[in-house]
Amino acid sequence: MSETLQLAKQLIARHSLTPLDDGCIDIIGARLAPLGFSLEKMRCGEVDNLWARRGSTGPLVCFAGHTDVVPAGPLNQWLSDPFTPTVRDGMLYGRGASDMKGSLAAFVTAIEKFVAACPLHRGSIALLLTSDEEGVAVDGTVRVVDALRERNEPIDYCIVGEPTSDTKTGDTIKNGRRGSLSGVLTVKGVQGHIAYPHLVKNPIHLAAPAIAELAATTWDNGNEYFPPTSWQVSNIHGGTGATNVVPGTVDITFNFRFSTASTVDGLKQKTHAILDRHGLEYDMQWELSAKPYLTPRGSLVDAASAAIRQVQGITAELSTSGGTSDGRFIADICPQVLEVGPLNATIHKLNECVAVADLDALSEIYRLILVRLLVEPENASGERS
The answer to whether 68 is a known catalytic residue is: yes
How far is Cα 261 from Cα 307, in angstroms, rounded to an integer? 30
For the sheet with 124-130, list strands across it. 38-44, 47-54, 124-130, 60-66, 157-160, 336-339, 172-174, 317-319
Distance, in Å, from the CA atom of 157 to the CA atom of 371, rounded to the nearest integer, reads 13
**Given 133, 339, 352, 364, which residue is catalytic?**
133
**Class of residue 57 by CB neighbours under 10 A (exposed 0-12, middle 13-18, buried 19+):** exposed
Angle at 233 between CA 228 and CA 236, to 5 degrees: 175
CA atoms within 13 A on the CB side of 14: 23
**Could you give the CA distance from residue 11 to residue 105 in angstroms, rounded to a whole number?**
8
269 phi, psi to nearest 5 deg: -60, -40
Q: How far apart are CA 289 and CA 227, in angstroms?
A: 19
Q: Where are the alpha helices (DSSP H) in the chain?
A: 3-12, 24-32, 102-117, 141-150, 203-216, 264-277, 299-312, 327-330, 356-374
The one catalytic residue in 21, 22, 48, 68 is: 68
Distance CA 177, CA 226 (A): 8
Q: Are 126 and 155 in contact (CB under 8 A)?
A: yes
Q: What amino acid occupies position 374? A: L
**133: annotated active-site residue:** yes
DSSP state of 97: I
Three-state helix/strand/coil letters over 108-138: HHHHHHHHHHCCCCCCEEEEEEECCCCCCCC
Q: What is the CA radius of gyration of the chain?
A: 24
State how beta strands 179-188 and 249-258 pair: antiparallel
Which active-site residues does the annotation give?
Answer: 68, 133
